[in-house]
Structure 1
């Protein structure tokens, strides 16, 4: 790779490194002057998903076909609520995993392939100076499975770019579709059966990415094998449209996904890996006419909380993966939760813990075992009930 290209890539990757260093939660959206967009979703500084780029539907269909042979992609039914989202593919993949139609290994393969492909697509931009960067904490997606460090993806992208350029493929996009434009020349060199197979593959309908899956080779090998024919004008590369999504359906038992609350009833959330504590809090909260969300897996906490935007959050102090302090700090970095009341749950009675909690943005503290009066004391302190507000307004009016 030439020095100029290396410098430009390093400048581009600098934006990603900033997100990693800050343990960013949210999305990094990159736009070029032509209106093309790439969005990378971060959770705790790791890239967990990516959308946009060229042919998002083709990419999803291709990855499912490549890594999940048991799935009939042409008859795959997507939830209509999801297809309205920019990250519809993320929720479709998550649903396939939750319904046990695909396993964790397949999920990781699709996530890794999707992120890598979008980074390579972005790295192929010719005018890096014109790119604009937008950070937003409105949408937070969690890692469906084990997430990979962003630096690993960036290193792989740089290596892929170097190999692509060394192979003489500079200026050629794997999103283009090859088509035979001088069939007689090829017919003279191969048998009728071989030509028939080539005609079915190199017909301007399958991109180089698509062909790599069909031929079970990496895209670099496929592109390199076609390069001599492209240079001689025997084969041309053409742009093709994206493919349509799968069939959409609306299940009766599936609520639409929204990042905005649609009810005046207060919502209380609890993040605790202890099921008994969650159940105890749920009993107390629901008995007092409020909604309750229990989250036992800390890695899923941020996306679930951003989806429901609770009025009050109870956090366990000691949890696997991430403790209450760290999770609270991450929530405070997100604009949605900058002022949301957060109370820590803990079995210790250490004064130092209480002082430290305040530093991380905790507003209250409850000791375990959880007592009803203590819980409701915190709830009454921070949560506004519409009914109570209405009654106060009526009293004021009577006066």
Structure 2
């Protein structure tokens, strides 16, 4: 099951998984998340990064029930909740670096904290529940993006599982209340800033001191909700009167500039396209393949094309019509997963072999690669034989 969110919404997808009692993973990717939701005319500080940003979420299911939800690769969500529970882990960097081999890194982090007795099962379950709720809050807000559900064995071990329908009903009600706070409050990622006029207000000094504690220009609404172990709507309702009175300001942490790349159909003879921001990697690929008769010939319709800019590669791919794509996962502006997912939505490139060049080989990387439609992996550093074996596998003759 896969498609676009403008054709079917998240609520319907979750209902299908629940009714079918499915086990597996749901991957959702969406560009410019929350960045485009800023109210027109709002006076907000904006950090224009000039970079296309893609957000992704993974939801894990067991027999139609949610086991866990992960947003991105960061461990900071759990760290925010540990602050509320006054937990100082003291984990070694080596322990953190090994996370993500068999399960999502965040999920393994939660289990590590539990196994090392830094948190109790009750706290672990509470954190898992809060993370699922905030993830569903984001997902049920989406109106565009791409999703794919992959049936698979459930992640293990399992802490607990939650029924989908009550969660969806609860979060839907939260969203209805959330929308009533617009235009003052519109994104969980807005930063809290204390206004100068608060010092001349009639607010008690104790209240001003409390506002200063959180409104430091560095704490988002979502972080504040985690620190307090409350849902985002409850926190937003508490600060709403202070925002209305102008005692608190909410500013946007960032605005994402999305770029749309359209692929058109065409047909050319066999070519290999290498997309990697490191020139030495492209040169290594060219050198290895030249020995097998694949020769880079500049701009005159080469059989091997090495490009370091992924946006340029996407703009040229319909013209180049490669039969095989070698792509680095961590290219700037667009990563390899995003490039692959975009190509898989095109009728022309739906079945083109795509090999990811990566130094990452953890659970979350393998799941994302499979769901994005990656054909194969090539782990850096690789030798010529490994490269040639994969090329011969996908290009015969």
Q: Which has the higher helix share?
A: 1
What's the TM-score once normalised by structure 1's chain length? 0.50
Structure having greater relative contact order (Cα 8 Å, sep ≥ 6): 2
Instruction: Name the larger-Rg structure.
Output: 1
